[in-house]
Amino acid sequence: MNLKDCHNFSDFKKLAKKKLPSPIFHYIDGGADDEITLNRNTSSFNDVDLVPNVLRGVEDVDLSTTIFGKKIDLPFYCASTALQRLFHYDGERAVGKAAQKFNTMFGVSALSTVSVEEIASLIDTPKMFQFYFHKDRGLNDAVLERVKAAKFDVMALTVDTITGGNRERDLRTGFTSPPKLTLSSLFSFASKPMWGINYLTKGKFELPHLQDHVSEGTNIATSIGDYFSTMLDQSMNWKDAEKLCSQWGGHFALKGIMSVEDAKRAVDIGCSGIMVSNHGGRQLDGSRSPFDQLAAIVDAVGDKMDVICEGGIQRGTHILKALSIGAKACSGGRLYLYALAGAGQAGVERALSQYRAEIERDMKLMGCNKISDLNRNNLRYRKI
């Protein structure tokens, strides 16, 4: 299987599976506990059907939208995800450049493996930094200042990882600390020699935003779950978020809001948007899917802030459905991560261009010329 055989999400996933040592593939692919939420994130889209309008004259379609004060050419963007150089040696460089090519937002994780300074020097399109609130306040301040200096457009505080989710695949494959090299994981690393060679030869693996502050930053000999549980501040509360928001002084979002009550508080503390998200099903299994919860959130705060629907997106029509309910845009992780793992920047570009083509085709088939033409009239919930 090659990049040119990849026509959809599951093709990219297959390619990634082929290329990656299995602990790494399963780190991306897996979710918490029984993965009920992970699966529901996608299947929830199928309980709602689109109702097209016809004969609208759709030769030109405008897919642009404005989020956090920035106009982007696509109604979705690359969600911030950790450790991208584990997936492909170019890591965030590849994803950032691909996002720039399509003029969409690029989300950079606190656990990124390329520095904010380098990313800022590589791309001049909209950038979002995803913040983790550490116990070490000195670290928090330093990161914030660096991101400010690098002129990122948006700061997003992730609020759904107060402790690590129970990712059982990682326990089994040995994606833990210290790397539990089971017989089968050893075999998997050995059977994907290209990954190993690239990993060893294309620059040292680092977590540039953390490494000056903590020994955990220097290598991945700590699991992500342990990182969340030991380094992040579990006492984080609304005051901290509010303080951070004003310290940042620009567009600020909370990532991982699910309740209407919290969405309203996000407005109160001065956020310009929220990501309705359950972290791609990787944290609290059995929690509601973003798409299922979207209407309630949009009804409560949709006129006061940008609501982003994040998680489970595998098709252009999924994005259209979320936009019809009132999301300002969508974002996703796996929708570009498998492509990154499969073929680096070229892979991410192919994935983004396929989503763009799908959205454009689907807009035409819906009889819509611009994103704001989509509304709830276009949707019907299946009776159950």
Partner 1 sequence: MKLKDCHNFEDFRKLAKKKLPSPIFHYIDGGADDEVTLNRNTSSFNDYDLVPSVLNDVSNIDMSTTVLGEKIDFPLFPAATAMHRLYHHEGERASAKAAEKMGTIFGTSTMGTVSIEEIAKVNKGPKLFQLYIHKDRGLTDNLLERCKKAGFSSMCLTVDTVVAGNRERDRRTGFTTPPKLTLGSLLSFALHPGWTINNLIHEKFKLANIVHMTQKGTSIDKSVIDYINEQFDPAMNWKDAEYCVKKWNGPFALKGVMSVEDAKKAIDIGCTAIMISNHGGRQLDGSRAPFDQLAEIVDAVGDKIEVILDGGVRRGTHVLKALCIGAKACSFGKGYLFALAAGGQKGVEKILENMKTEINRDMKLMGCKNLGELNRSKLIHRK
> What is the phi-psi region of residue 151: left when phi exceeds 0, alpha when psi lies from -120 to 50, beta otherwise?
left
CB of 27 to ligand FMN, least distance (A): 6
Cβ-based burial of 259 (10 A; exposed 0-12, middle 13-18, buried ≥19): middle
Which of 44, 115, 130, 222 contacts ligand FMN by CB under 6 A?
A: 130
Q: Kindly state whether residue 372 participates in binding partner 1, applying the rule CB under 8 A.
A: no
Which of 72, 95, 139, 366 contacts partner 1 by CB under 8 A?
A: 366
CB of 360 to ligand FMN, least distance (A): 20
Q: Which span sits near ligand FMN by CB under 6 A: 7-15, 63-71, 113-121, 305-313? A: 305-313
- Buried b / exposed e across 41-71, counting CB within 10 Å, b at 16+? bbebbeebeeeeeeeeebeebebebebbebe
Q: Kindly state whether residue 113 participates in binding ligand FMN, applying the rule CB under 6 A.
A: no
The SS3 call for residue 167 is coil
The SS3 call for residue 155 is strand
Q: Which is nearer to partner 1, 61 or 122 (CB)?
A: 61
The SS3 call for residue 136 is coil
CA distance 296 to 300: 6
Give the number of residues in contact with ligand FMN, rule: CB under 6 A: 24
Amino acid at 164: G
Q: Kindly state whether residue 313 participates in binding ligand FMN, applying the rule CB under 6 A.
A: yes
Q: Which span sits near partner 1 by CB under 8 A: 77-85, 170-178, 295-303, 363-371? A: 363-371
Which of 174, 208, 311, 316 contacts ligand FMN by CB under 6 A?
A: 311
CB of 322 to ligand FMN, least distance (A): 12
Q: In terms of Cα–Cα distance, which of 132, 127, 107, 72 is closest to 331? A: 107
H/E element, 66: strand 65-67
Which of 37, 109, 287, 289 contacts ligand FMN by CB under 6 A?
A: 109
CA distance 333 to 298: 22
Q: Kindly state whether residue 28 participates in binding ligand FMN, applying the rule CB under 6 A.
A: yes
318 catalytically annotated? no
Which of 15, 20, 74, 79 contacts ligand FMN by CB under 6 A?
A: 79
Question: Which residues ranging from 43 to 62 are in contact with partner 1 (CB under 8 A)?
Answer: 45-46, 49-59
CA distance 237 to 249: 19
Amino acid at 294: L
CA distance 72 to 64: 6
151 alpha carbon, distance to own chain's centre: 20
Q: Which span sits near partner 1 by CB under 8 A: 14-22, 163-171, 208-216, 316-324? A: 316-324
Place of tokens 């791609």: 280
Cβ-based burial of 178 (10 A; exposed 0-12, middle 13-18, buried ≥19): exposed
Q: Which does 91 bind (CB under 5 to 8 A by kind): ligand FMN, partner 1, none?
A: none
- How many angstroms separate the Cα of 13 from the Cα of each of 18, 107, 337? 9, 21, 9
CA distance 84 to 98: 14
The answer to whether 346 and 2 have CB atoms below 8 angstroms apart is: no
Q: Which span sits near ligand FMN by CB under 6 A: 77-85, 139-147, 225-233, 353-361? A: 77-85
Q: Which is nearer to partner 1, 142 or 295 (CB)?
A: 295
Q: Which span sits near partner 1 by CB under 8 A: 124-132, 153-161, 183-191, 315-323? A: 315-323
CB of 335 to partner 1, least distance (A): 14
Q: Kindly state whether residue 358 participates in binding partner 1, applying the rule CB under 8 A.
A: yes
Q: Which is nearer to partner 1, 171 or 365 (CB)?
A: 365
Residues that bind partner 1 (CB under 8 A): 7-8, 45-46, 49-59, 315, 317-318, 320-321, 358, 361-362, 364-366, 377-378, 380, 382-384
Catalytically active residues, by annotation: 279
Residues that bind ligand FMN (CB under 6 A): 27-28, 41, 79-82, 109, 111, 130, 158, 255, 277, 279-280, 310-313, 332-335, 337
